[in-house]
Amino acid sequence: MADTNYKLITCLLPDDGSDRKLLRALRDERQVTTANSASCLGLAGLQDARAKHHDLPKPRLVRKVEVLVAAADADELYDYIYTTANIGQTRGGVIWLGPVNLASEFELPADVPLEAD
């Protein structure tokens, strides 16, 4: 990793399993294993921001997916994630690409089984 510049692709997806489908596609179709998904509260990022006067909209669970990629592959993988995760659809999510300050390389042992679908 020390010789390669990296970028971080981050997206917010609905909490409907689309993050797991995306991670599976990244692993199986693009051999990307530097991705993570976490549950978090989202506020109007994937929904209409409607609320009564002086009230905030109710937060909803969303999935934050982060993918660490070589800078040379970042634009292509960004487009792939945008299409594969249906981010362009209504309430499909949001995506952005940014710099990485620090990253550490590690590998899981070969005999660790993949998660069940």
HEC assignment per residue over 34-51: CEEEEEEEECCCCCCCCC
Closest CA to 83 of 30, 35, 33, 44: 30
Q: Which domains does the chain have, with CATH numbers?
A: 6-98 (3.30.70.120)
Write down the pLDDT at residue 54.
72
Write down the pLDDT at residue 1.
46
28-36: long-range contacts at Cβ-Cβ below 8 A with a sequence spacing of 24 or more? 30/77, 30/80, 32/67, 32/69, 32/77, 34/67, 34/68, 34/69, 35/65, 35/66, 35/67, 35/68, 36/65, 36/66, 36/67
Higher pLDDT, 59 or 43: 59
CA–CA separation, 20 and 26 (whole Å): 10
pLDDT digits (tens, 9 = 90+) for 58-70: 778 899 999 999 9
Mean pLDDT of the chain: 85
pLDDT at 117 over 80: no
What confidence category does residue 41 fall into, taking pLDDT thresholds of 50, 70 and 90?
confident
pLDDT at 98 over 60: yes
